[in-house]
Amino acid sequence: MLRPKGPDQMAFDSIEHVMERCAQYGYVMHRTLATTVYLATRLRTPLFLEGEPGVGKTELAKVMALGLGAELIRLQCHEGLDIATAVYEWNYPRQMLEIRLQEARGIERTHIGESIFSPSFLLERPLLKAIRIAPPRRALLLIDEVDRSDEEFEAYLLELLSDFQISIPEIGTVKAVEPPLVVLTSNRTRALHDALKRRCLYHWIDYPDFSRETAIVRARVPCLRSVPRSWSRHPSPIRREGAARTRP
């Protein structure tokens, strides 16, 4: 696992610092979650967030990027996600134009097209873009709803999360100068492979209790002085029933 060298600007100073910085952007969290976030940034280990839809997994990644001053790069997973969408794609129209231009310049036939598989003809997708960002720029890679992707793509992530490198056959291996922070989210629509989870710090985000839900509403709607207790009573039984089927 790669470790940051020197003073780490992509980490929070303390658990309290995590809670304070996130609260500045309207995200109220429990101390146990703040501890996991702190360790993930300090150890530069991918953070795996799992929980029911709507509990704040994606929002946490956005707030972390804001709190750390990092560029948020988001990959929204879905069924059938492939390398061309997630990693890279060759700019075929530009490659064809380059071949035409080389023919017009009178370049020897055997040398036409030798340069079309170079980085200048590469279209970066979220994973490659996050890998190629170098200091002073900083990146937080959000791989959202990874459980919606296929098992083949899940296996592809193993190289990225272990060595922070991507293999491109025509060029070689692209390795991160400074590994990005990585946050993966899952709604647990399917079980993910243990090999992927072993590369991450795991945290299950549950529905908030009434006191924290009140704090969230007040943070989002500052003009609201009080929150009626009945607001949280009605969804609670429904939440518990749904969560009982998926919670580990």
Q: What are phi and psi of 124, to 5 degrees?
A: -75, 135
First to last CA, the chain: 27
> How many whole angstroms separate alpha carbon 186 and alpha carbon 248?
13
CA 135 to chain centre: 19
Q: What pLDDT is stored for residue 49 in this prediction? A: 97
CB 150 within 8 A of CB 81: yes
Rg value, the chain, Cα: 22
| Separation of alpha carbons 240 and 248, rounded Å | 13
H or E segment to which residue 58 belongs: helix 57-68
**Distance from chain centroid for Cα 52:** 18
What's this model's pTM, rounded to 2 decimal places?
A: 0.84
Report the candidate in 71, 68, 72 with the shortest Cα–Cα distance to residue 24.
Answer: 68
From CA 224, how far away is CA 46, in angstroms rounded? 36
Chunked into runs of 10 residues, the chain (248 residues) has average pLDDT values of 48 93 92 96 94 94 95 95 93 93 88 88 95 92 96 88 90 91 95 90 89 79 66 56 53
